[in-house]
Structure 1
Amino acid sequence: MGTISPPPSKRQKLSESRAATSHTPAEPNLLSIYSHNVNGIAPYLQQSIKTFFQPSQGSQTADLEPTASLRHFLRRHGYPSVLFLQEVKINPHDRATMRALEKAVASGAATVDEPDYVVHVCLPSDKYNARGFGRKVYGVASIIRRDWFLQHVERVRPVSWDHEGRFLVVETKAIGPRPLAIFNIYAVNGTELPYKDVSGAVTGTRHDRKLHVHALLQAECRALEADGFGVILAGDMNIARSQLDGYPNLRTFPHQHCINRADFEKKFFASSSTSTATDSDESSTADRSSEQDAGGLGMVDTFRHLHPTKKAYTYYPRGKTFGESCDRVDMIMVSKSLEEDITAAGILETPAERGPSDPVPLFACFDFRGPEQTVPS
C-alpha cells in the first residue's frame, strides 16, 4: 500500500531503513530511541544451545550469543542512544537476573565500535496489584548507551504515583535548546479485574485505574513542560488510536475500550481547546471519567507524523499467523515543541525482530540542532 510523503521540515527526514546504521560516540544533540515490549526478559538472557557444545575451529564468538540477544539487537541497529524494554518480568528481589541483564548489554571492552551500556530498571513494589507469577510481572528496563548517559543524563527516576513498575523517566541536561524528560512506559491494560489501593481495598477495575493513570501521566507531563522540558513518551500504551491502527478491525468491544481510547486521545493528542474524539457518546463518557479537564497536551505521534496513512502494527500475537490479527499499541509520542526535531520513525515488522515476544520493536530518531547547524534539505 502506498504512503503519503511526510511533510517538509527544517532538515531532510531519514528513511526507515537508514534510521540508525552507524555509531558515533556521544553524538551531540542527536537521539535515537528503540522500544520493545519483550514479554519477559528470560529468553534474552539464556545461553544458546550452541554454548553447550565444543565450538568448531574457526567458529565465530557471535554464535555463542543467546538466540534472542540484546547485544546483537543493539549492534544490528547501530547502537541507539537508548533501548527501552517493557514487561521485563523480573522479581524485584532477583539480583542474579539483574546482573545477567547488565552483562547482556555490556560490550566487555568498550570501544568506539563497541560502546557500552548502562541499565536502569523499575520493578513492581505493589503488594496487592503485582503479586502473580512469583512477582515476575510488569517492570521496565531503560538501557542507555554509556557515552550518551555520561554526556546528557541528569537522573533516572520512577514516578511517585505508580508502584507496579510501569514508568521510568530519563531526565537530561539541555540537548539543543531544552532538557528532555524521556518516559519508558508499560501502560495499564484495561480489564474488568479489580484494582486495589494501598490499603488493599478494591477501588474499581483495571479500566478505572487506566483512566486514572492517564490523568496522572498527563499532569506529570504538563508540569515538566511548564518547567521547560521537552517530553517524550515511549513504550506500550495498550491503546490503538484509530481504525488505521487495528487489523482486521479496531477493538471496540467491550465498549469500555472505546471510552479508554477517547480519553487517551483527549488527554494526550487534543490541544487545550479541542477534542479529537469522533464519537460524542465516547467523548462525554471520557469527560466524566476525568478527575479534571485542563485540556489536552497536543502531543505528536512520531510514527503517524511521518507516515500519515501507512498501515503498520506493533502487536502480533504469537498464537496466530503473523499479520492475521495485529494492532499498533506501542508508540513514541513527543511534546509539540519537539515536532520539527523528528527525523525518523518506524516499526520493525518481522517475525525475526519480534523474537520470542508478541510485540515487535519500534523506533524514533531526533536531531536537536537548530536549523543553522544542519545541512539544508
Structure 2
Amino acid sequence: MSTISPPPIKRRELADDQGSTSHTSLSLLTIFSHNVNGIAPYLQPSIKAFFQPSQGSQAANSEPQASLRDFLRRHDFPCLLFLQEVKINPDDRATLRALEKAVASNTTTGSEPDYVVHVCLPSDKHNARGFGRKVYGVASIVRKEWFLTHIERVRPVSWDLEGRLLVIETKAIGPRPLAIFNIYAVNGTELPYKNANGAVIGTRHDRKLHVQSLLQAECRALETDGFGVILAGDMNIARTALDGHPNLRVFPHQHCINRADFEERFFASAAIPKVIDGSESSTASQPPVQAAGGLAMVDTYRKLHPTTKGYTYYPRGKTFGESCDRVDMIIVSKSLEAYISEAGILETTAERGPSDHVPLFARFDFSEIGVEGDVTAFRNDSK
C-alpha cells in the first residue's frame, strides 16, 4: 500500500494552507533514515524529556518512549525522514492516521513546518503473513513545502510486494531530477521464499540476491532517464571489516556472497562476474537481471569518513557497542557526489530509542551550482 501524490488542484489547496514560512532553503536536501523496528512506540505525544532526561529523573531509568515530532524538531525539521520496518498491518487505518498525527505540526501559527506521510506496506500473502501481518513496511515522511515544491510522484516498485521500497521522484533539483528510494532490504536467511502460487522456489538468500539485481536494474533505468538516484535505508549488508564490530560477519558463507554481489552491483564499475566469491548464486528459480557493469555509486558516510568506525545496528540484547554493524546507508549516483555536504550516524542509546538501530543522515547542497554548471570543476576550484 502507498499513498500517491495529490492532484494539482489539491496541491494548490495544500500550498495555500502552508503559508510562506520556510525553515530551510529548498535548495538544501537533508535526509534522515531510521529502522524503527516497529512504529507503535513512536506514535506518542511529544515527550521532550525522553531524549535529554534530567539527572536522576524517572525518564532516565524507564524504557524509552519515542516521539516522531520531537525527532523532527530536534534535527531542524529535515526535508525527508525515512522509516523502515514500521510493522503496520496494511488494513490498520487507525495506526496510519496516528502516524499522520504524530508528525503533524499541531500549530496554527506557521511557526513549525508540517509533514505529509507516504507508506508502502506488504501485500504478499505468502511471504509477509507472520505477526498478524505486522511485518516489514516503510514510511516516507516529507516536509509539506518541500513536497509541494519538488515532488512529482511517490510510487512503489512493481517487483516488491513485501512493502520494502518506496520511491520519491522529484522535479529538477540542481542539474537533474532525483529518484530517492526508501529501502528496507531483504535479510538473507535459509528460510524459504515462495512464488505467487505459494510454491517454495528458494531461500531468503536467493530472494535477496534477486532483489539486488532488480534494484540495480531499476537504478540504471532511472539514471539513463536523467535521474540522480539516492538509496537510503537498511541495506542488511555490512560492506567491509570497518563496518562490523568486533568482526565482520562471514558465516554462513552465503553472507559473503550477498556482500560481494552488493558491492559489484552498486559500487563497482566493472562487469558483474557469473561466479561471486567462489560460489555460484543459487537463484536459478529467480535468475538475476543481467547488467553491463556496476553503478559506481557513492556511500555518503564513507565518502566523508573514509576510515571512521561507525555503526547503525545495535542489538538490544547486548551492551550498547558490544556488537554492532553499519548496515544502514545512504548511497548516491556518482553524478551527485559533489553535492554531498554532510553525513553522519547518531550513535547514542537515546537516539536508538525503542529500536535496535540508530538513525543516520546525509545532507546535499544544490545552492552553489547552476543547473548547467560543471559540478566537478566548481568543487575543485573552490578548494
| Pairwise TM-score range, normalised by the shorter structure | 0.7 to 0.9
- Aligned partner of 1:244 in structure 2 is 242
Whether the aligned pair in 2 keeps the contact of 1:25 and 1:112 (CA below 8 Å) is no
- Aligned partner of 2:255 in structure 1 is 257
Q: Percent identity?
A: 75
> Would the alpha carbon gap of residues 69 and 191 (structure 1) be closer, same or farther in structure 2, given more than 3 Å must change?
same
Inter-partner Cα distance in structure 1 for 2:108 and 2:205? 45
Identify which of 347, 350, 354 aligns with 2:348. Answer: 350
Inter-partner Cα distance in structure 1 for 2:205 and 2:367? 41
Whether the aligned pair in 2 keeps the contact of 1:48 and 1:67 (CA below 8 Å) is no
SS of residue matched to 1:102? helix
Please report how far the alpha carbon of residue 369 of structure 1 lies from its aligned counterpart in structure 2 after TM superposition. Answer: 3.0
- Aligned partner of 1:77 in structure 2 is 75
SS of residue matched to 2:277? helix
Question: Is 1:197 equivalent to 2:195 in the alignment?
Answer: yes
- Superposed, 1:39-78 pairs within 5 Å as 39-46=37-44, 67-78=65-76
Inter-partner Cα distance in structure 2 for 1:76 and 1:112? 17
> Would the alpha carbon gap of residues 248 and 195 (structure 1) be closer, same or farther in structure 2, given more than 3 Å must change?
same
Identify which of 131, 135, 138 aligns with 2:136. Answer: 138
Question: Is 1:282 equivalent to 2:289 in the alignment?
Answer: no
> Would the alpha carbon gap of residues 48 and 332 (structure 1) be closer, same or farther in structure 2, given more than 3 Å must change?
closer
- Aligned partner of 2:9 in structure 1 is none
Inter-partner Cα distance in structure 2 for 1:222 and 1:48? 41
Inter-partner Cα distance in structure 2 for 1:318 and 1:133? 20
Question: Is 1:309 equivalent to 2:307 in the alignment?
Answer: yes
Amino acid corresponding to residue 99 of structure 2 in structure 1:
L
* TM-score under structure 1 length normalisation: 0.85
Q: Which structure 2 segments of 5+ residues have no match?
A: 1-20, 49-63
Whether the aligned pair in 2 keeps the contact of 1:157 and 1:168 (CA below 8 Å) is yes
Q: Deviations over 1:137-177 (max 9, x none)?
A: 00000000001000000000000000000000000000011
Please report how far the alpha carbon of residue 294 of structure 1 lies from its aligned counterpart in structure 2 after TM superposition. Answer: 1.9
SS of residue matched to 1:308? coil
SS of residue matched to 2:250? coil
Identify which of 306, 312, 319 aligns with 2:317. Answer: 319
- Aligned partner of 2:220 in structure 1 is 222
Amino acid corresponding to residue 282 of structure 1 in structure 2:
D
Count of aligned pairs = 337
Larger relative contact order (CA 8 Å, sep ≥ 6) = 1
Please report how far the alpha carbon of residue 108 of structure 1 lies from its aligned counterpart in structure 2 after TM superposition. Answer: 1.0
Inter-partner Cα distance in structure 2 for 1:75 and 1:192? 41
Inter-partner Cα distance in structure 2 for 1:125 and 1:263? 27
Inter-partner Cα distance in structure 1 for 2:217 and 2:281? 16
Q: Deviations over 1:67-91 (max 9, x none)?
A: 3000000000000000000000000
SS of residue matched to 1:33? strand
Q: Pairwise CA RMSD of aligned residues?
A: 2.4
Inter-partner Cα distance in structure 2 for 1:129 and 1:110? 44
* TM-score under structure 2 length normalisation: 0.83
Please report how far the alpha carbon of residue 292 of structure 1 lies from its aligned counterpart in structure 2 after TM superposition. Answer: 1.6
Please report how far the alpha carbon of residue 274 of structure 1 lies from its aligned counterpart in structure 2 after TM superposition. Answer: 7.9
